[in-house]
Structure 1
Amino acid sequence: METAFDIVEVLGLVFVLLFAGLVALALVLFVIDRSQTEDAIRRNYPVIGRFRHIFSELGEFFRQYFFAMDREELPFNRAQREWVGRAGEGKSNTIAFGSTRNLSVPGTPIFVNDPFPPLDDQYAKSEPLLIGPTARTPYLAPSFFNISGMSYGALSKPAIQALSHGAAQAGVWLNTGEGGVSPFHYEGGCDLVFQIGTAKFGVRDEHGGLDDAKLAEVASHEAIRMFEIKMAQGAKPGKGGILPGEKVTEEIAAIRGLKVGQDGISPNRHREIDSFDHLIDMITHVREITGKPVGIKTVVGAESTMREFFETITRRGPDCAPDFITIDGGEGGTGAAPMPLMDLVGMPVREALPLVANLREEFGLQDRVRLIASGKLVNPGDVAWALAAGADFITSARGFMFALGCIQALKCNKNTCPTGITTHDPRFQKGLVVDRKAPRVANYAKSIVKEVEVLSHSVGVSEPRKLRRRHVRLVQENGRSVPMNEVFPRPDAV
């Protein structure tokens, strides 16, 4: 009995001490909050005012897991993320009891099923497509769905390794992003697109200009199949890339030509390109040095600007044209960016892609210049829409991040990504096991291709690139759907 009483006394003493400690802490916080002058809420409501900040921080978590419906979240909702998750795991994506998608939202694409579709043994099959017919080493791209630009630095070492191996398994290309090419990009043996950003990381001289010798050395690698001159990206049109200094490790600093801990800030444009003539000069120069297809990545701001570009190509001749144009939507991307640029600048890809496709046809360049669409195109319907709108290829960054295990924690611009994808903290990186994630990358890419082929078969075409705007209807403000070729008529009225 004495032992029991002793335990009760100890527990009572512990409780008293804890209570006294909490009271003392509350008094200290009360004095701090009342005396500080930065936060009006804490000054007027000492101690309890702190809960507002706590709940604000936790609100994002609770909304994602407990309160938001499957189709409510932004930038990607749970239904979109879970489709990628199941595809990455190689699981069936069949569902029951009807669609949960709100089909009355303006802009929603609805595909037109053929009343007499081809029989099952006449299924739609995607085919390789040539890029850069005038280059010394053209590229026969195997897949219409590929991995968009994500730099080593913005992404972690295991993330790049998993993407490289997964891309090789699926037969898709991997864009290096503007941070230069690392050994981890080569590791899986996939096809690579080397992106030349405004800072020219990986091919720059000591003054930040283009170093032809370094460019030729990069091009000598067989894995490098194309070069993409980045003019702008959807997350921050008009502003260069931003790699926070806490992510610049010794290895990344060596690849990019920075100091450890130094912010990687790219200029807002290429210093030597201030007109479309200069842009074509750069395209021609890079193609001559490398012998490989060269294109550009940009965000559309206005129809008149893109028309001027195509007029310049026509004046200079089709041999000077870019081998491809990547259209990134202004919806924002994975990179760190100021909110006004991410939210407010640049056309969405849903408007920009049909516009550029029309101009390409108007100037008769559809067989010379390939169109690549990028920007929140992560599910089969998104990809099929882009092909119908006029794209030859689609690239995705965030879709493949979901395949790697991204939970949309929105920590990409910090060094605290909990899944190890966008961090260089070894504690978080150990959660990303390359051998387990690479097959998920491959499965996701293969699932997209397969499902787009299923959609193509349903509308009655034999190859996904034969999808046309007449095969898609777009929901309007009044709830009715209209054929996309009426909303965005093509020059040849196809």
Structure 2
Amino acid sequence: MSAHLSILYETIEFGEIFKYSFLGILFIIAVGLFFYDRYQKEHSLWRNYPIIAHGRNLLEALGVYLRQYFYAMDREELPFNRAMRSWIYRAAKNVENVIGFGSTRDLRPIGTVIFVDAPFPPLGQTMVLPKEMIIGHECRIPYKTSSLFNISAMSYGALSKEAVQALSRGAAKAGCWLNTGEGGISPYHLEGGADLIAQIGTAKYGYRDKEGNLDEDHLKQAAAYDQVKMFEIKLSQGAKPGKGGILPAVKVTPEVAKIRGIEPYKESVSPNRHVDIANVSQLLDKIQYIREVTGKPVGFKIVLGNYDWLDELFMEIVRRGFGAAPDFITLDSKDGGSGAAPMSLMDYVGLTIKESLPVLVNKLVEYGLRKRIKVIASGKLVTPGEVAWALCIGADFINSARGFMFSLGCIQALRCHLNTCPTGITSHQKRFRYGLIPENKADRVYHYAKNMVQEVGIICHSCGVEEPRELRRHHARQVTENGLSVLLSELYPVPAVKHFLT
């Protein structure tokens, strides 16, 4: 009996010692933190309210993650609200997207788009699907595709290996293309078998010689892949018009560095423009050079700000002949954002797709180039209504980057540039990448692309057209300042072809 009491006494004594030791350590830490806060010189709140002021920093850090779940309404978050994300998640999981008791979408704000339903839509159909379109009639190897909704430029490096693998496999299954981004063609882009658009950035990663110049042999090697269907010269991108691509040093792994032809673990910053393209003549010369070397369609990607230069570009094309024209123009919106960029550029520079797309399409019409040059629109076009709007304005194809990131499982944690993406999409750390299974996510990429095309087809069918690209500006209305809607054809009238071309 006494032995048991002795053991119990020792246990209680140890517990008391542990408790008071723990409290003592906490007290010492608190005292140390108090004096540190009181006498440090960087934070005013810490000096005035030692210890407790750290609670503000904690709440501020947690707020980024908690607001979207507990406080934000369905349609008020930026850059993508909960309603948009929820639609993408359901589409990617191939879950029924039918809702009941009416829409939560407010139809009153200025700029709201409403589609014009036909009194007698085609009988016996529920949707219409896109037909085949040819890009690059002037090329030795034109690109024929029936794809409508495609994956925008995201490089290996910006994305993890598993994310690129999932996109490649999903794109192949969906029959859409995948833009490689400016980091060059990686094995992971190729392995899924998807059609690829090879992007040539200002640093020419993947296509450069030792001096950083565009290399003909590298172009030929890329063009030799049957999967590579077109080449895109990146002049600027939505997140940072006027600034080159930025890949933080922590994301420049040895494999990424090898593909790009740079040193590992050193920040990869591209020039703010191509050193060999300083005017429209040099741009057209470069397009023609790449087209001759590769035999495949070539275009360029741009964010419009000043658009007066389009007149100079299109006049030069008219002077040289329509064969000198780019085969396509990818128009990015200033509110793109899959890349890291300074906030001053993200917030203030460039035009959104809502303003720039009508300008570009109208300029092409004016110069008689609308059929010659295909238009690819990108920038927050992630739901069927936005895609259908772009088609009404005149886009031939739509690209999306962040929409497909959501299909992979992105939760909008806003940590893309820190290599700590919790879903493993934009991180190269194994502990984060572990959660991303390419085989599973490839199906979600496929379902998102498929369901997008189907639901755009539902809108088109309701408007009474037989093919999505038959949508015109009179098929949609936009709410204006007085609360009433007007046809897009009245807001953005299609101009006549310039007289010297008729």
Q: Deviations over 1:384-443 (max 9, x none)?
A: 000001100000000000000000000111110100000110110010001100000000
The Cα shift of 1:19 comes to: 2.6
SS state at 1:119 partner: coil
Quick check: 2:128–2:454 contact (8 Å CA) kept in 1?
no
| Alignment correspondent of 2:478 | 474
Q: Match for 1:287 among 285, 291, 298?
A: 291
Q: Match for 1:205 among 190, 204, 209?
A: 209
Distance in 1 of aligned mates of 2:232 and 2:21 = 65
Q: Match for 1:39 among 40, 43, 57?
A: 43
Q: Match for 1:443 among 436, 440, 447?
A: 447
Distance in 2 of aligned mates of 1:122 and 1:341 = 43
The Cα shift of 1:455 comes to: 0.2
Q: Deviations over 1:423-480 (max 9, x none)?
A: 1101100100011000000000000000000000001111000111111111112322
| Corresponding letter in the other structure for 2:376 | I
* 1:213-252 superposed matches below 5 A: 213-252=217-256
| Alignment correspondent of 1:132 | 136
Distance in 1 of aligned mates of 2:127 and 2:349 = 41
| Alignment correspondent of 2:464 | 460
Quick check: 1:162–1:434 contact (8 Å CA) kept in 2?
yes
Distance in 2 of aligned mates of 1:396 and 1:125 = 19
Cα separation, partners in 2 of 1:23 and 1:492, compared to 1, 3 Å: same
Distance in 1 of aligned mates of 2:253 and 2:399 = 28
Quick check: 2:244–2:269 contact (8 Å CA) kept in 1?
yes
| Corresponding letter in the other structure for 1:401 | M
Q: Say yes or no: does 1:340 pair with 2:376.
A: no
Cα separation, partners in 2 of 1:111 and 1:28, compared to 1, 3 Å: same
SS state at 1:38 partner: coil
Distance in 1 of aligned mates of 2:126 and 2:439 = 36
Q: Match for 1:114 among 102, 115, 118?
A: 118
Cα separation, partners in 2 of 1:123 and 1:90, compared to 1, 3 Å: closer
Distance in 1 of aligned mates of 2:82 and 2:14 = 49
Task: After superposing the two structures, state which structure 1 stretch, 159-168 or 478-487, moved more.
Answer: 478-487
SS state at 1:199 partner: coil
| Alignment correspondent of 1:313 | 317
Distance in 2 of aligned mates of 1:218 and 1:377 = 29
Distance in 2 of aligned mates of 1:491 and 1:274 = 29
Distance in 1 of aligned mates of 2:255 and 2:241 = 28
Cα separation, partners in 2 of 1:310 and 1:27, compared to 1, 3 Å: same
Q: Say yes or no: does 1:49 pair with 2:58.
A: no
Q: Say yes or no: does 1:424 pair with 2:428.
A: yes
Task: After superposing the two structures, state which structure 1 stretch, 405-414 or 475-484, moved more.
Answer: 475-484
Q: Say yes or no: does 1:374 pair with 2:374.
A: no
SS state at 1:160 partner: helix
The Cα shift of 1:492 comes to: 4.9
The Cα shift of 1:302 comes to: 2.4
Q: Say yes or no: does 1:79 pair with 2:83.
A: yes
Structure 2: segments with no counterpart, 5+ residues: 498-502
Distance in 1 of aligned mates of 2:21 and 2:277 = 69
The Cα shift of 1:5 comes to: 6.6
| Corresponding letter in the other structure for 1:228 | E
Task: After superposing the two structures, state which structure 1 stretch, 53-62 or 347-356, moved more.
Answer: 53-62
* 1:252-267 superposed matches below 5 A: 252-267=256-271
| Corresponding letter in the other structure for 2:325 | A
Quick check: 2:127–2:459 contact (8 Å CA) kept in 1?
no
Q: Say yes or no: does 1:358 pair with 2:331.
A: no
| Corresponding letter in the other structure for 2:478 | L
SS state at 1:59 partner: helix
Task: After superposing the two structures, state which structure 1 stretch, 404-413 or 8-17, moved more.
Answer: 8-17
Distance in 1 of aligned mates of 2:145 and 2:19 = 69
The Cα shift of 1:18 comes to: 2.8
Q: Say yes or no: does 1:383 pair with 2:387.
A: yes
SS state at 1:279 partner: helix
| Alignment correspondent of 1:275 | 279
Distance in 1 of aligned mates of 2:99 and 2:16 = 56
Cα separation, partners in 2 of 1:4 and 1:110, compared to 1, 3 Å: farther
The Cα shift of 1:12 comes to: 4.3
* 1:323-338 superposed matches below 5 A: 323-338=327-342
Distance in 2 of aligned mates of 1:481 and 1:311 = 36
Distance in 2 of aligned mates of 1:416 and 1:120 = 50
Cα separation, partners in 2 of 1:465 and 1:12, compared to 1, 3 Å: same
Distance in 2 of aligned mates of 1:70 and 1:95 = 14
Quick check: 2:410–2:425 contact (8 Å CA) kept in 1?
yes
Task: After superposing the two structures, state which structure 1 stretch, 14-23 or 419-428, moved more.
Answer: 14-23
Q: Deviations over 1:188-223 (max 9, x none)?
A: 101000000000001101111100111111101100
The Cα shift of 1:178 comes to: 0.2
The Cα shift of 1:15 comes to: 3.4
- The normalised TM-score by structure 2 is 0.96
Distance in 1 of aligned mates of 2:471 and 2:125 = 19
The Cα shift of 1:13 comes to: 4.1
Quick check: 1:332–1:343 contact (8 Å CA) kept in 2?
no
Cα separation, partners in 2 of 1:92 and 1:251, compared to 1, 3 Å: same
The Cα shift of 1:305 comes to: 2.1
Quick check: 2:127–2:454 contact (8 Å CA) kept in 1?
no
Q: Deviations over 1:314-359 (max 9, x none)?
A: 1221100000000000113110100011111010001100110001
Distance in 2 of aligned mates of 1:55 and 1:122 = 49
CA RMSD of aligned residues (A): 1.4
Quick check: 1:357–1:389 contact (8 Å CA) kept in 2?
yes
| Alignment correspondent of 1:349 | 353
| Corresponding letter in the other structure for 1:329 | S
Distance in 2 of aligned mates of 1:480 and 1:338 = 38
| Alignment correspondent of 2:500 | none
The Cα shift of 1:491 comes to: 1.3
SS state at 1:413 partner: helix
| Alignment correspondent of 2:98 | 94
